[in-house]
Amino acid sequence: MTVFRLRIRNAQQLVQVCNNNEKAKRGAEQDTVAIIENGALIVDAQGKFAAVGTTDEIERWVQAQPQPVTFEKDFDATGLCILPGLIDGHTHPVWSGSRVDEFAMKLAGATYMEVAASGGGINRTVRATRASSESELLALLNKRLDRMLKCGTTTVEAKSGYGLDTETELKMLKVIETAAKSHPIGIVATYLGGHSVPDGMTAAEATVDIVQKQIPALIDAKKAGEINPYFIDVFCEKGVFEYDDTLTILQAGKDAGMKINFHGDELHPMNSGKLCMCLQAHAASHLEMLDSANIQAMADAKTFAVLLPTTMYILRLQSPPARELIQRGVAVALGSDYNPNAHCLSMPLTMHMACCLMKMTMKEALVAATINAAASVDRADTHGSIEVGKHADLLVLDAPQWEHIIYEMADTPIQHVLKDGRFVVSHGQLL
């Protein structure tokens, strides 16, 4: 007797995204999506794909297993589409306080840096987050993760960075680690002690604090099993951490065993491509101001670009060079950049804005929110496509074509969300 966790049959479209074990899609390949018409799949008892094919192929595959075969759940997807769960490559989901009034300031024309100079911005959230307990922050985080899951995100990159001191950065990373162990969504943690220069310090002093105090404390806490930061991040920006400080911090993080995934070239050209090359950075985000030489450097370094269309839209920034990044062979991923300055939890809307505002195609956007986002958080071996051996994170779409997940904008036709082959959201309700 063989027991499987799940069978899905008769899907109008089963959107694998990849079917040849690609670990990312670059250049013209980013504009391709592997689809099986009348598709089916089997999830094994460990929550991984055991078989993927047409409904007929899977029928024969099942017959070839030791009989009898049983399925904990058998789902008929007639008229529906199946997609990989979405992966959000860049979020700041741990914070307290409110910044809703700053949105009004920005609409009235204040720039990001003017808001910061008036006592708002990141350092305002830092004050609130420092004052919040671990349990308060966890409750806020869990509520946000619930909403992301309902919007179809099954894996999320989650940054610290509203602490800017050892104690609060550790607190945030502990909260992220607790959620990673208890919430159904998959979480990849990023340490972002260099998110902003804390009040009362220079960038040089903050750099020393990060390198000499925060990172050593992180190493100890990681050894103790309290936190698990996979990436190190810095906001590399004029007037924040500039090129040399960024290099120092990222190198120290790398030496401490973290991979590099940083904010670059959002508001000013910062030579982020050169930084990617020097540090062999895994990923870089934002990139609105990146020039051709730096794009080529990113391509040569095989660094993933994580683009954030909602932030560009809200801050009225110029578009990052999505087309040139793709043309030069950089694998482009997407992130919601969820944070108190850009309150978007929805990867479907993020994809829509990537299409309308950054001139990506729908296929490029889906690749960017699945396999390439998985790659940007170094999870392409296990997530981001519907292929045998990967985790069975899935969306069931009440639509006859997968493009509806983008086309329908805010109110998407996501009917079910599955994590490791188990239903975690149905009809907008957490299960």
Q: Which residues of this chain interact with a copy of itself, rule CB under 8 A?
A: 98, 100-101, 103-104, 107-108, 147, 150-151, 310, 313-314, 316, 343-346, 348-349, 355-357, 359-362, 400-401, 403-404, 406-411, 427-429
**Rounded Cα–Cα distance for residues 192 and 125 (Å):** 14
Neighbouring CB atoms inside 10 A of 174's CB total 19
Is-contact 16 385, C-beta < 8 A?
yes
Least distance from C-beta 429 to a copy of itself, angstroms? Answer: 7
Closer residue to a copy of itself, CB minimum distance, 20 or 101 = 101
Closer residue to a copy of itself, CB minimum distance, 62 or 312 = 312
Closer residue to a copy of itself, CB minimum distance, 173 or 314 = 314
Closer residue to a copy of itself, CB minimum distance, 344 or 392 = 344
**Rounded Cα–Cα distance for residues 423 and 218 (Å):** 35
Least distance from C-beta 227 to a copy of itself, angstroms? Answer: 28
Pairing of strands 414-419, 422-426: antiparallel
Helices 122-130/166-182 angle, 10° precision:
80
Least distance from C-beta 15 to a copy of itself, angstroms? Answer: 14
Least distance from C-beta 139 to a copy of itself, angstroms? Answer: 14
Least distance from C-beta 191 to a copy of itself, angstroms? Answer: 27
Closer residue to a copy of itself, CB minimum distance, 301 or 406 = 406
**Rounded Cα–Cα distance for residues 379 and 388 (Å):** 15
The structure tokens 């290099």 sit at: 247
Alpha helices in 265-346 (DSSP H): 272-279, 292-301, 309-314, 322-327
Closer residue to a copy of itself, CB minimum distance, 218 or 362 = 362
- The structure tokens listed for 418 are 């599955």
Least distance from C-beta 347 to a copy of itself, angstroms? Answer: 10
**Rounded Cα–Cα distance for residues 335 and 338 (Å):** 8
Is-contact 10 53, C-beta < 8 A?
no
**Continuous segment of H or E residues that includes residue 39:** strand 34-43
